[in-house]
Amino acid sequence: MKLTVYGVPLSPYVRKLRLCLAEKALDYQLVMVLPFDQPAWFKDLNPLGRIPAMTDGDLTLADSSVICQYLEDKYNNLKPLLGQTAEQHAKVRWLEKYADYELAPLTTFMLFQQRIINPSMGQHCNEDIVQSVLSQKLPVHFDYLEQSLGSAEFFVGGSLSLADLAFASQMVNMEHAGEQLDAKRWPNLFSLYSRIKARPSLQNLLAGEQEILTSMKPVK
């Protein structure tokens, strides 16, 4: 039975899960469920009402990290995305959580919210919030991640992992909001994001996301 993912493409957590599925070449169908105004039946999949959720036959799972861990465990014969050793596994999970918990509140729930979501709903974009995030809040996180990456091609073990996908998923929403990493200040992170963005897995998702963004015209 085909895997089913519930959520919307512009969610960074849904995007991370879809990238994981794509990199492992796993077939799935996407059922659109918004983060708000959700159908009553979605609470049966995730009582917290958060996206994404996923079903695999009779199994129902919620939370992008939990789902990606399940995919790694079940399809361990496919491309590994959590590292090869216990040490690498721990570092991948740490950096994934760092992106989910530290970057997301800023790149998605502030920048993307203010620049994209608010205008699409006829609400004001608070540019003071945007500039505060860009100048005061995000740089410390990018400094840490730049140091963590160093000159390596990927965050952990010299190969693509969930840490890279989680980071890139947040950078996409930042870019959707009209902002990019400063290539001079954070050259390694900029190069990492550029490499991941060029991968077929993300390019295929971005094509559909651009169509959605085009349809989200500001309400007059």
Q: Residues 14-57: pLDDT tens digits?
A: 999 999 999 999 999 999 999 988 999 999 999 999 999 999 99
**pLDDT at 219 > cutoff 70:** no
Tokens of 170: 């947040």
Q: Please, which pLDDT band fits residue 216 given cuts at 50, 70 and 90?
A: confident
Q: Which amino acid, residue 63? A: D
**How confident is the model at residue 43, as a pLDDT?**
94
Residue 47 Cα distances to 7, 51, 70, 135, angstroms? 14, 11, 19, 37
This prediction has a pTM of: 0.96
Mean pLDDT of 118-146: 97
How far is residue 76's CA from residue 116's CA, in Å, rounded to a whole number? 38
Q: Which amino acid, residue 123? A: Q
**pLDDT at 183 > cutoff 70:** yes
Mean pLDDT of 67-89: 95
Residue 66 Cα distances to 55, 162, 191, 199, 213, angstroms? 12, 12, 28, 24, 28
How far is residue 192's CA from residue 154's CA, in Å, rounded to a whole number? 7
For the chain, helix, strand, coil in percent to 5 are: 60, 10, 35
Q: What confidence tens digit (pLDDT) does each residue in 93-131 have?
A: 999 999 999 999 999 999 999 999 999 999 999 999 999
**pLDDT at 166 > cutoff 90:** yes
**pLDDT at 220 > cutoff 80:** no
DSSP 100: I
**pLDDT at 76 > cutoff 90:** no
Residue 146 vs residue 217, higher pLDDT: 146
Instruction: Lowest mean pLDDT of 74-78, 145-149, 177-181, name the range.
Output: 74-78
Closest-CA residue to 176 (of 213, 142, 220, 122): 213
